[in-house]
Structures are given as structure tokens and as C-alpha cells.
């Protein structure tokens, strides 16, 4: 789940387009005293888990039935928006941090403070910081957290072993913007050219690379969630003046720009593919095709990547490298369920939201082992289940355990910022502009807040 | 399909049908009434589903409208913003580049294909094969090529490798992305366009070619002296339609690069979409839509004049 | 349909020079080569789609350059037809969401057929009025129609959606079909060009015989223009078949009673788990979705393609 960046979106498909307005969907129907709630989510992998929650919920509340609809990421937001226009959005839907500020401004989702207070819901049971993400700029709460995600290094164990790199080494990687540290050394070693020469060997031909040490998913736009945010923040950089609800971005900070300069240098050295290679086949397919040895990405991809195991690809996960600050830093992002302001079944909708965020449902989600639930006890369940499938996910949970996370930057104007930062970052990573050019983009971004 | 179209018997009691004297005045009046009868359904559809929404769109272009809150009148603010919006002008330039490449290549290829088919074979199988790409939805065509033209794993770059060319970042390089997208759409439309032109070719009397051949004219000469001039009316129609369609390039971009890299493929239609549906600035998007309509109308008028397709035995 | 003869071949006897004959032959071989090259370019992506649709999606990229299906399986097709269980589907990288393929197929056939019949017929009527009848403001109205060609669909979809919502036609066949039922500027423009060229003498002769306009239209103009009308009909059918955004807009994701195949295909695609799409399933779905049009074309195509003529162009 979570933020799918446009570049990853060969996928984005049809949907995207258009859609002005949504169908008369969702909505609610009451027949014979029975209330039907509509609930939307976008990750097909999670649907079985929430279907189970719905079944349990209906057992406890025989007069409410929940109808779950899953739509792909792009269709999801389009149909949701048009649903708001036609007054037929779903009663409850999975919400995203990049989207909800807009919904708050347009008053399309309900604040739930009164309900939380009335039912004495404890927002302290969730992993640290998650509940705060859903308090709007107006100080009101717009959702209860349901899960979280972090970033780690995905790698192909077949290739690291061939290069003589041990798992222990991969767990202890350190990074700095000057020479890249042990992290860059490992990336170099994992890079192999057509003649079999490795990136750290003399005679390495960077124009004919067969396997890249680190894959480039995209330029990361203004967020760099899975691309560069972990380096920049571990270098002491902050996205905004404050988070959440900052009003000034810091893309002009030298700490940010030196990080980006280093990151880009991996391309020049031949350790990371050029930007032009990022359009087309998705990064995880490059990993399984053996075109890359490592890639940084989010915990929501664990299932897909682990499932692509073949005789060429043995998926494994390593924690992020530590930075100059001495710690590793992963962006911490979480989803929540929000209630549509136009719902005709506010009480039933609240019951369902409350249930989704309760230990009962969270444990069910944990059992399905597709995502990390928001409640720490349920996370342990998930971790165990992942382990039973032969997948070690400690690389993702370590950040939460060590409290080495930083929160997803929440501000207004997310869509406009994206449209400014995408071409700016593309230009830097594509090599047509220096990292210092980001200062100008930063001015444009900050002008949005005036 | 033809059967579904040629609706059976004329209605005997049809209003203006029975009068005998084709005198000037009643003739004209009869014309009027019949015209109304014939034009009415289309006029209705046009008014309700084209004209009205267009008028509303024009109205919205003078408002501040975010979809989620009602439109608020803002005068010409959107238009003044438009004039100073460098991204808009850049997107127009990008679109123009696309149209020139797309139409240029497509028209030449289609004429070539049509002439080849016309001169070489009657095989309707062959024509059917060339029409195949048109049967596949736009977005799927885009996805298939996006994938086949991948820099690292794409089969197209493998071909290039065999004949000794380095891999090309078809969708990922700023100077290649628009030509690539243009050619992908040429692939989808060339057979269809060729078929339209082929139909025009069939109407050219064979005797003209035979006479030319007797006079010792080569195929090449016949093409320039007979085929092309006689093809003009059909070409005019094909061009007007394809050029306008070409300006509205959107799906391919939305499905593949989403405007990147570095806005190199951000065509005007995609920019409008982005403003409207991802930034909810529907008023501004409408203003850009109006500008686009004006530009297209200008281009078409120019084209029609150039090709003199408007000529008819009626005017 | 005039017989297509090869004047160049026929008349070669008239041009005695041997060399010229050889040149013509080499030219013809080269021409054939070019034609076949285009056929190859046209067909190759279809082969690639077929090859991918028969691959196991999870394994697809373990051998990206293979010319044959990778770990061959019919799984992609099973997912499209909703025959695979959730576990089977997800094991091969699909989503396992249920698909009522035959219903969507039926819906697509209904929508495309109704639009084709209505649009072609009403557009033909309008085209006749523009091409053959004299009435005040004719050229102005025609120009207005023509300008509608320049209105980007994105521009008018939102107001049309509001209209459908107010008429209570969301989620109905009527809602999907109506905007395309009465005319498209292209159809009117296309047919007018043909009608302009129908011989006026024939029409006047019929009029002297006492035929009214409707009679002339149905008995004379339509039959005489059967070929272009058939062409337009098949193009309209294909376009309606492939239409995606409008049906997506006016239908409800939670209710698939009137969902058409393209929308189902789009949803199928975006249902895939995060990351890369279920390529095998998507390609299988694409081929399956193209199949009905393909069959239609195989059945009528020969006749239609052969009979397309721009009659009487001067």
C-alpha cells in the first residue's frame, strides 16, 4: 500500500485518466432494519484479511453488513473524488497521508474526536507516532491507524554470496555522503560488467554493466520515500520546518543537496542504472531478473518480492545503512480508515472504523502476514507468520524497535509539490542539472504556502 | 454490419414525400422540412452532449472550481494565469512535436502501405492483418510497448543489440520519449489509416494507370502524377481527423511516463488532466481546454483551406 | 467492385525493352519485401503478447529474453475467466479477484451494437441533410458540428456526468450509450464526404418519379453508400468496443451489472498487487477481449474490406 510513485506506474493504467467523476457508488442502503456499509481499499493483497475482519464484525453486529470493494491505486482516488462530487462515496475508506489534507480542507471526511472521546478509545495502543499522523492541521482527528510501513534493502542472496558478501556485512552497512562508506563498497562489489569484472576491480567497464549493485526505481520526486529519504534524513536533514503541518520545505539545505549529489554519483560510477532505465519494467522485476543485486523499497512489497523466488533469485532483506548521524533512518508511514462526511450511517461507520483499529481485527490482519498492523502486539503475530513462510522481516521492524523512524511529511499542496519536484529531481538525476538547482524548485514549493 | 444500417422500406406516409411538382419554391420549402426531419436526432445529440457541456466548460473556465466545492466566479483570472504559465506553453510545444512526428510518419507509412496493397495484391487477409493493432485498446498498446521497449529487459533493445546498437532509453530519455510515443501510436493507427486511403485509391479509374503505362510512365511517376492528386479529397479528410486526434494524445502518456522524464512528455492534454483531476483545479483546466479548442479550430481551418476539402458541388 | 488488375504487368508487352521488365520485377520484389516487413512489425507484438499470456507471471522475469513462454501455464487465462482459486492466482502473481467474464462480454456486445446502429443511422441522416438538402444555416450548423471534433473529450465528460447523474442514468446501459447514440462529429463528417459524391442526376430522376426525400434517402442514398456505411459501422463498433473512460465514469465499481469488458480489463489490471502488473493475466485478458472483434472481422471483414470504395470521387 502506500505511496505509489508515478514513475512506478506503467501500472497506472487506464484509470488514471480521466475520470472526472465517480459513480453512484458506495452509498448505503438500509433494508429491513439492516444497514449495509460500503468500505473501500486499494491493496488486493490485504482484501482477504479485511474480509475476515468484516465477517467477524458482522457476527458481532448482525444488523450491519459490510461490503468491501477493492480498486487499484489510480482508479481508487479518481472514483473516490467523483464519489464525493456525486454524493456517493463509500461510508468508510482506507486513507493515505498524502491525500487526506485535501479531504480535510474540502470537508469530505468526518472528524471523529467526539466519537473517540465518547467511546473512550485509547489512541495510545498504536506504534509510536502513528495516531498523531491523523490529526489534521485544525487539531481534529480524521482517522484511526490500521498499519504502518518502513523501508529496507531488498537483495538477491544468490548474487551477494557470489560476491562473497555475508549477511552480517549487509546488516552493518554504513553510509556517508563523502565516500559512500561500506555501503558504497558493497554496492560496487555487487556491480558486474559484461566481462565479469566487478565495480571495485580495475578494468571495470561502466558502459557495459550486466548487473547493477543498486537499482534505481525513479528520481523519487519530492518525497523519495523509497529512493533517497533514508540517506538525506540520516545525514541530519529534515523535510520541513515541522511535521506534521509544516509550511516550509528544505530542499535548499546543503545536507540534502550533498546527499542527492552522492546518490547521483552512483549512476556516474556505473553502480546504479541511469534514469532512462527506470521507464518500463518495474524495479522488483529487475531484481528477480538478476539485473540488480539490491534495491531499497517498502515493507508493502515483501509479499510480491518474496513470491518471485526462482533458481536465479533468492530474495532477502537487510536493514538500511546507518548514516553520518550514526543511526539508520526510515520513513514511517501509516494508513488509516476515514469516514465519509456524507455517510448516512455515521454510527455504523464509526463502529466499523473502531473495529478495524481494534486489537481483534489487527490480530486477524497480522495473521495474514501481508502488512504490519498498527498495534505492536499484532505486529509480533505478523512477524511470526512471515517467519513461518520463511521470510525474515526484521530488517523492517528493527526501525520501529530502535525508534529510528521519521514521519511521512504531511503538508498541504501535496499534488502541486509533486508536480514541481518531479521534473526538478528528474533533471538532477538525469544529469541535466546540478543538485543546487533544487534550491530554485524549493522556492517554488514554498511559494505555495504563501 | 451493413445490414444493420440500411433500414428497410421507406415509410409511405412520410411527410413531404408525395408532391409531384418539383417547382422551385415548394421544392425549397420541402427541402427545409425534410432537412429538419433528417437533422433532428443528430442535432439533439449534438446539443445535449456536445454543445451544452462545452458551454458549461467555458463557463467553468471563468471560475475557481475544485470539484469538491461549488464553482466561484473569478473572471479572467485563469486566462491571465494561463498566459504566464511556462508549463502550459512548454506542453504545447511538446504536443506539437508529437503531432508533427506522429502525423508525418503515419501519413507517409499509410500512403505507402495503401499504394503497395493497391498495386500488389487483392488479399483482404493482408489488409485484415494490418488492421489488427487498431482492434486493441489504446492503453494496452501503450503498456505492451512500454514493456517491450524497456531499456534493460525490453525485446526491442535486444534486437538493437544484435545489430550492434547500444540500448536506447526509449521512454526514459528526454529527446527520445516523444518520438517513441508518436511511433507507438503510428503502429496502432497505420493499418487503419492505410485502409481509408486504400478505399480512396480504389476509386481512381484503372484506365488512368493503364494509359500512363502505355505512355511509358514509371510507377513512381504515376504515383506523383495520378495517385497523389486524385487522392487529395480523401487525404484531406483523413488528415483533418488524424491531426485533431493526434493533438488529443493522452492515454499513452498516462499509462507510461506520466509526463516524465523531466516533463519531456507532458503533453497539453495530460497537463489539463493533471490540473483537473490530481490538483482539483478544474477552473484552470477548463481554461486550458478552451485554449486548446481555439488552437485546434485554427489548425483545422488552415488545413481545410490548404487542402481545399471544403469544395463541393454545392457551394 | 472493379477487378484489380495489374496494369504494369499487362502492358509490359507494349514496352518491349527487356531491361525495363527486369527493373519492374526487382521493384516488385522490393515492394513485397517492404509490405511483409510491415506485416512483421504489425504481428510481432501480438506474438509477444501471446507468449507472455502463456507464461507464469512470477517467473516471467527470470528469463525475460526467452522467445517461448516462461514456465508455460494457462494460469493467465484461468485468472481472466475467474477459474483460478485465490491461492492459485496469487501464487502466480495475480489477484484472484472474481471476474464475470461472460456477463462483461454480453454487456460489451450490447453497448457496441446499440451505439453502432444508432450512431451510424442518425449520422447518415444528418450527413444527408448536410450534403444534399438546401436549408438556411446549413453551412453554419455543419461548421458547428465540425468544431465539436475539436472539443477534447476530457472537457465535456464532467458536465455529461452531471447530466447523467441528474437523469438518474448512472449505472445503466442508457447512461453509457446516450452520448454516442445520436452522432459523433466524425461520423457525420465522414458520411457527408461520401454523400457529396453520389450522382445528383440519379437523385433528380427519382424525384421526378415522385419520390420524397425519405424514399430517396432509404432507397437510393443508403444502398448506394453501403460500402462507406459498412466501413463506418465497423470503425464505430471497434471504437465503442474499446471505449474505456466514459463507461468507467458512469458505472459503479461496486456493481458490475452493466460493466463492459474494457472497464473489467482496467480493473483487472489495477487489481494486481503492488509493484508490477500481472502481465500474463493482462495479456491473456487483452487477447481474449480482442477476440470477439477479431471474429467479427474474420466473418464480415473480407466483404467489408473488399467493398470499401470511395465511389465517384473525381
When comparing pLDDT for C223 and A110, which is higher? A110
Q: B150 is written with which cell numbers? A: 524497456
User: Would the CB atoms of C244 and B293 count as touching at under 8 Å?
Assistant: no
- Give C118-152 pLDDT, tens digit per residue: 999 999 999 999 988 888 888 899 888 887 877 88
CATH classification of C101-271 is 1.10.3720.10, yes or no?
yes
| Extended beta strands in C147-291, E state | none
On whether ipTM exceeds 0.85, the answer is no
Give the model's confidence band at C80: pLDDT under 50 very low, under 70 low, under 90 confident, else very high.
confident
Range in A38-42, A179-183, C160-164, C266-270 with the lowest mean pLDDT = C266-270
Give residues 240 to 259 of C whose Cβ lies within 8 Å of A: 244-245, 248-255
- For residue A34, give the 3-state DSSP assignment: strand
Give the model's confidence band at A213: pLDDT under 50 very low, under 70 low, under 90 confident, else very high.
very high
Number of H helices, E strands in chain A: 18, 13
Q: What percent of chain A has pLDDT above 70?
A: 93
> Looking at the predicted structure, is the pLDDT value of residue C15 above 60?
no
Residue A180 DSSP code: -
**Residue B28: predicted pLDDT:** 62
> What does residue A180 show for φ and ψ, rounded to 5 degrees?
80, -10
> Looking at the predicted structure, is the pLDDT value of residue B61 above 70?
yes
Range in A431-445, B300-314, C240-254 with the lowest mean pLDDT = B300-314
**Residue B5: predicted pLDDT:** 29
In angstroms, the Cα distances linking A434 to A11, A268, B266, C303 are: 30, 13, 22, 61
Calculate mean pLDDT across residues B12-32.
49
- Give A337-394 pLDDT, tens digit per residue: 999 998 999 999 999 999 999 999 999 999 988 889 999 999 999 999 999 988 999 9
Separation between Cα atoms, residue B115 and residue B227, nearest integer Å: 9
- For residue C6, give the 3-state DSSP assignment: coil
- The closest alpha carbon to A263, from A209, A317, A323, A203, belongs to A323
**Residue C7: predicted pLDDT:** 38
Provide the number of CB pairs (under 8 Å) joining chain A to chain C: 148
The C-alpha angle C142, B5, B35, rounded to 5 degrees, equals 35
Q: What are the extents of the domains in chain B? A: 79-149+176-307
Task: Give the contacts of A109 (CB within 8 A, at least 6 positions apart).
Answer: A95, A100, A103, A142, A143, A338, A339, A340, A341
> Looking at the predicted structure, is the pLDDT value of residue B152 above 60?
yes
Calculate mean pLDDT across residues C70-74.
83
- Give B110-139 pLDDT, tens digit per residue: 999 998 988 887 777 788 788 888 888 787
Residue among A1, A41, A310 with most chain C CBs within 10 A, to mutate: A310
- The closest alpha carbon to C145, from A200, B54, A94, belongs to B54
Calculate mean pLDDT across residues C46-50.
91
| Paired residues of A338 in beta bridges | A93
Give the model's confidence band at B2: pLDDT under 50 very low, under 70 low, under 90 confident, else very high.
very low
CB distance C191 to C227 below 8 Å: no
Question: Domains of chain A, with CATH numbers?
Answer: 6-148+335-389 (3.40.190.10), 151-331+410-447 (3.40.190.10)
User: Would the CB atoms of A276 and B173 count as touching at under 8 Å?
Assistant: yes
- The closest alpha carbon to A419, from B270, B249, C84, belongs to B270
Q: What percent of chain B has pLDDT above 90?
A: 30
> Looking at the predicted structure, is the pLDDT value of residue B312 above 50?
no
- For residue A22, give the 3-state DSSP assignment: coil
**Residue C280: predicted pLDDT:** 83
| Paired residues of A212 in beta bridges | A292
Helix axes C153-166, B282-307, angle to 10 degrees: 120
Cis before residue A348, ω within 30 degrees of 0? Answer: no
CB distance A153 to A317 below 8 Å: yes
Separation between Cα atoms, residue B200 and residue B234, nearest integer Å: 6
> Looking at the predicted structure, is the pLDDT value of residue A29 above 90?
no
**Residue A23: predicted pLDDT:** 33
Calculate mean pLDDT across residues C270-297.
73
**Residue A2: predicted pLDDT:** 36
CATH architecture label of B79-149+176-307: Orthogonal Bundle (1.10)
Calculate mean pLDDT across residues B9-33.
49
- Give A36-57 pLDDT, tens digit per residue: 999 999 887 788 899 999 999 9
> Looking at the predicted structure, is the pLDDT value of residue C2 above 60?
no
Calculate mean pLDDT across residues C47-66.
82
| Extended beta strands in chain B, E state | 63-64, 72-73
CB distance A6 to A227 below 8 Å: no
Calculate mean pLDDT across residues A113-129.
90
**Residue A447: predicted pLDDT:** 94
Separation between Cα atoms, residue C195 and residue C189, nearest integer Å: 10
CB distance C34 to C16 below 8 Å: no
- Give A287-304 pLDDT, tens digit per residue: 988 999 999 999 988 888
Partners of A10 on chain B (C-beta within 8 Å) are 143, 146-147, 255-256
- Give A216-267 pLDDT, tens digit per residue: 998 999 999 999 999 999 999 999 998 888 999 999 999 999 999 999 999 9
**Residue C87: predicted pLDDT:** 62
Helices (H), A152-282: 157-162, 167-171, 181-190, 229-234, 254-268
- For residue A39, give the 3-state DSSP assignment: strand
CB distance C234 to C247 below 8 Å: no
Average pLDDT, chain B: 81
**Residue C97: predicted pLDDT:** 57
Partners of A286 on chain B (C-beta within 8 Å) are 152-153
> Looking at the predicted structure, is the pLDDT value of residue B196 above 50?
yes
Q: B240 is written with which cell numbers? A: 483533418
Residue C271 burial (CB count, 10 A): 24
> Looking at the predicted structure, is the pLDDT value of residue C192 above 70?
yes
Average pLDDT, chain A: 87
> Looking at the predicted structure, is the pLDDT value of residue B311 above 70?
no
The A-side interface with B (CB below 8 A) comprises 6-7, 9-10, 12-14, 16-21, 78, 81, 84-85, 102, 106, 108, 219, 273-281, 285-286, 289, 291, 415-416, 419, 422-423, 426-427, 430, 432
Instruction: Please report, to the nearest 10 degrees, the dihedral formed by the alpha carbons of residues C272, C277, C281, C283 taken in order.
Output: 150
CB distance A87 to A342 below 8 Å: yes
CB distance C142 to B277 below 8 Å: no
Cβ-based burial of A120 (10 A; exposed 0-12, middle 13-18, buried ≥19): exposed
> Looking at the predicted structure, is the pLDDT value of residue C36 above 60?
yes
- The closest alpha carbon to A80, from A439, A367, A340, belongs to A340
When comparing pLDDT for A3 and B51, which is higher? B51
Helix axes C138-148, B24-46, angle to 10 degrees: 20
Give the model's confidence band at B26: pLDDT under 50 very low, under 70 low, under 90 confident, else very high.
low
Give residues 186 to 205 of B whose Cβ lies within 8 Å of C: 187, 190-192, 195-196, 198-200, 202-204
Q: How far is CA A220 from the centre of its chain?
A: 12
Amino acid at each position: 500500500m502506500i505511496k505509489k510513485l508515478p514513475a512506478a506506474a506503467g501500472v497506472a493504467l487506464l484509470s488514471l485518466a480521466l475520470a472526472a467523476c465517480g459513480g453512484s457508488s458506495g452509498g448505503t442502503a438500509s433494508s429491513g432494519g439492516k444497514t449495509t456499509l460500503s468500505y473501500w481499499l486499494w491493496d488486493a493483497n490485504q482484501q482477504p484479511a479485511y474480509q475476515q475482519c468484516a465477517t467477524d464484525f458482522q457476527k458481532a453486529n448482525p444488523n450491519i453488513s459490510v461490503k468491501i470493494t477493492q480498486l487499484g491505486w489510480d482508479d481508487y482516488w479518481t472514483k473516490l473524488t467523483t464519489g464525493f462530487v456525486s454524493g456517493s462515496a463509500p461510508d468508510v475508506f482506507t486513507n493515505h497521508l498524502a491525500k487526506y489534507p485535501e479531504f480535510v480542507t474540502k470537508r469530505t471526511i468526518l472528524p471523529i474526536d467526539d466519537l473517540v472521546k465518547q467511546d473512550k478509545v485509547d489512541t495510545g495502543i498504536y506504534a509510536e507516532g502513528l495516531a498523531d499522523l491523523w490529526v489534521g492541521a485544525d487539531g481534529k482527528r480524521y482517522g484511526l491507524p490500521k498499519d504502518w510501513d518502513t523501508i529496507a534493502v531488498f537483495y538477491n542472496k544468490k548474487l551477494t554470496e557470489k560476491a562473497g558478501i555475508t549477511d552480517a556485512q549487509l546488516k552493518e552497512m554504513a553510509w556517508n555522503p563523502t565516500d559512500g562508506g561500506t555501503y558504497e563498497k558493497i554496492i560496487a562489489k555487487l556491480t558486474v560488467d559484461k566481462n565479469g569484472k566487478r565495480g571495485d576491480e580495475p578494468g571495470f567497464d561502466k558502459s557495459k554493466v550486466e548487473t547493477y549493485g543498486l537499482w534505481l526505481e525513479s528520481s523519487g520526486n519530492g518525497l523519495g520515500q523509497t529512493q533517497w529519504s533514508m540517506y538525506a534524513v540520516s545525514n541530519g536533514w529534515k523535510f520541513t520546518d515541522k511535521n506534521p503541518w509544516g509550511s516550509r520545505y528544505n530542499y535548499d539545505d546543503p545536507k540534502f543537496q550533498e546527499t542527492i549529489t552522492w546518490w547521483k554519483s552512483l549512476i556516474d560510477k556505473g553502480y546504479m542504472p541511469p534514469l532512462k532505465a527506470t521507464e518500463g519494467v518495474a524495479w522488483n522485476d529487475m531484481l528477480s531478473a538478476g539485473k540488480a543485486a539490491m534495491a531499497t523499497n517498502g515493507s508493502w512489497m515483501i509479499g510480491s518480492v518474496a513470491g518471485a523466488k526462482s533458481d536465479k533469485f533468492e530474495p532477502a532483506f537487510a536493514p538500511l545503512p546507518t548514516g553520518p548521524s550514526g543511526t539508520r533512518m526510515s520513513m514511517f508511514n501509516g494508513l488509516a480508515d476515514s469516514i465519509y462526511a456524507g455517510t448516512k450511517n455515521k454510527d455504523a461507520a464509526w463502529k466499523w472504523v473502531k473495529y478495524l483499529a481494534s486489537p481483534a481485527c489487527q490480530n486477524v490482519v497480522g495473521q495474514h502476514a501481508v502488512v504490519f498492523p498498527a498495534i505492536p502486539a499484532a505486529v509480533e503475530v505478523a512477524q511470526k507468520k512471515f517467519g513461518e513462510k520463511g521470510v525474515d522481516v526484521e530488517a523492517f521492524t528493527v526501525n520501529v524497535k530502535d525508534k529510528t523512524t521519521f514521519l511521512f511529511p504531511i503538508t498541504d499542496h501535496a499534488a502541486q509539490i509533486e508536480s514541481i519536484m518531479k521534473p526538478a529531481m528528474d533533471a538532477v538525476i538525469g544529469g541535466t542539472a546540478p543538485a543546487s538547482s533544487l534550491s530554485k524548485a524549493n522556492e517554488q514549493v514554498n511559494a505555495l504556502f504563501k | 454490419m451493413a445490414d444493420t444500417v440500411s433500414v428497410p422500406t421507406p415509410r409511405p406516409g412520410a411527410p413531404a414525400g408525395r408532391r409531384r411538382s418539383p417547382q422551385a419554391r415548394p421544392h425549397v420549402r420541402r427541402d427545409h422540412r425534410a432537412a429538419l426531419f433528417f437533422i433532428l436526432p443528430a442535432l439533439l445529440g449534438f446539443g445535449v452532449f456536445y454543445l451544452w457541456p462545452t458551454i458549461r466548460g467555458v463557463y467553468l473556465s471563468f471560475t475557481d472550481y475544485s470539484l469538491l466545492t461549488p464553482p466561484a466566479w473569478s473572471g479572467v483570472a485563469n486566462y491571465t494565469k494561463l498566459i504566464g504559465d511556462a508549463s502550459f506553453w512548454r506542453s504545447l510545444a511538446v504536443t506539437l512535436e508529437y503531432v508533427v512526428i506522429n502525423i508525418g510518419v503515419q501519413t507517409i507509412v499509410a500512403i505507402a502501405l495503401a499504394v503497395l496493397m493497391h498495386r500488389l495484391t487483392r488479399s483482404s487477409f493482408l489488409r485484415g492483418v494490418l488492421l489488427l493493432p487498431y482492434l486493441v485498446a489504446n492503453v494496452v498498446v501503450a503498456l505492451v510497448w512500454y514493456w517491450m521497449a524497456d531499456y534493460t529487459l525490453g525485446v526491442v533493445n535486444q534486437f538493437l543489440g544484435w545489430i550492434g546498437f547500444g540500448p536506447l532509453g526509449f521512454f526514459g530519455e528526454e529527446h527520445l520519449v516523444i518520438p517513441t510515443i508518436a511511433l507507438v501510436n503510428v503502429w496502432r493507427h497505420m493499418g487503419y489509416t492505410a485502409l481509408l486511403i486504400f478505399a480512396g485509391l480504389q476509386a481512381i479509374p484503372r484506365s488512368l494507370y493503364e494509359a500512363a503505362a502505355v505512355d511509358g510512365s514509371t510507377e513512381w511517376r504515376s504515383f506523383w502524377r495520378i495517385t497523389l492528386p486524385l487522392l487529395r479529397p480523401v487525404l484531406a479528410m483523413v488528415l483533418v481527423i488524424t491531426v485533431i486526434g493526434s493533438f488529443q494524445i493522452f492515454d499513452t502518456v498516462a499509462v507510461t511516463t506520466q509526463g516524465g522524464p523531466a516533463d519531456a512528455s507532458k503533453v497539453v492534454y495530460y497537463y489539463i488532466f493533471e490540473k483537473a483531476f490530481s490538483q482539483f483545479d478544474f477552473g484552470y483546466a477548463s481554461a486550458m481546454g478552451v485554449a486548446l479548442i481555439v488552437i485546434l479550430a485554427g489548425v483545422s481551418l488552415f488545413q481545410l483551406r490548404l487542402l481545399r476539402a471544403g469544395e463541393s458541388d454545392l457551394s | 467492385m472493379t477487378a484489380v488488375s495489374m496494369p504494369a504487368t499487362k502492358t509490359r508487352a507494349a514496352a518491349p525493352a527487356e531491361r525495363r521488365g527486369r527493373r519492374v520485377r526487382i521493384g516488385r520484389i522490393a515492394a513485397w519485401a517492404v509490405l511483409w516487413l510491415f506485416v512483421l512489425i504489425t504481428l510481432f507484438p501480438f506474438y509477444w503478447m501471446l507468449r507472455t499470456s502463456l507464461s507464469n507471471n512470477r517467473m516471467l522475469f527470470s528469463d525475460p529474453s526467452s522467445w517461448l513462454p516462461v514456465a508455460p501455464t494457462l494460469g493467465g487465462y484461468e485468472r481472466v475467466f475467474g477459474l483460478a482459486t485465490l491461492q492459485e492466482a496469487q501464487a502466480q502473481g495475480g489477484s484472484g479477484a472474481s471476474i464475470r467474464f461472460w456477463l462483461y462480454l454480453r454487456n460489451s456486445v450490447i453497448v457496441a451494437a446499440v451505439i453502432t446502429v444508432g450512431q451510424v443511422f442518425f449520422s447518415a441522416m444528418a450527413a444527408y441533410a448536410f450534403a444534399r438538402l438546401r436549408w438556411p444555416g446549413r453551412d453554419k450548423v455543419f461548421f458547428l458540428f465540425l468544431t465539436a471534433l475539436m472539443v477534447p473529450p476530457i472537457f465535456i465528460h464532467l458536465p455529461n456526468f452531471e447530466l447523467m447523474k441528474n437523469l438518474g442514468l448512472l449505472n445503466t446501459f442508457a447512461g453509457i450509450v446516450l452520448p454516442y447514440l445520436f452522432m459523433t462529429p466524425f461520423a457525420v463528417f465522414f458520411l457527408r464526404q461520401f454523400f457529396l459524391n453520389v450522382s445528383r442526376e440519379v437523385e433528380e430522376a427519382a424525384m421526378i418519379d415522385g419520390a420524397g426525400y425519405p424514399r430517396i434517402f432509404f432507397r437510393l442514398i443508403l444502398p448506394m453508400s453501403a460500402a462507406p456505411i459498412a466501413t463506418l459501422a465497423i470503425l464505430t463498433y471497434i471504437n465503442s468496443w474499446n471505449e474505456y473512460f466514459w463507461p468507467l465514469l458512469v458505472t459503479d465499481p461496486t456493481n458490475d451489472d452493466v460493466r463492459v469488458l474494457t472497464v473489467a480489463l482496467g480493473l483487472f489490471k489495477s487489481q494486481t498487487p503492488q509493484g508490477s502488473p500481472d502481465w500474463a493475466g493482462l495479456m491473456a485478458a487483452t487477447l481474449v477481449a480482442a477476440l470477439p472483434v477479431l471474429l467479427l472481422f474474420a466473418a464480415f471483414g473480407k466483404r467489408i474490406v473488399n467493398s470499401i470504395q470511395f465511389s465517384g470521387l473525381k
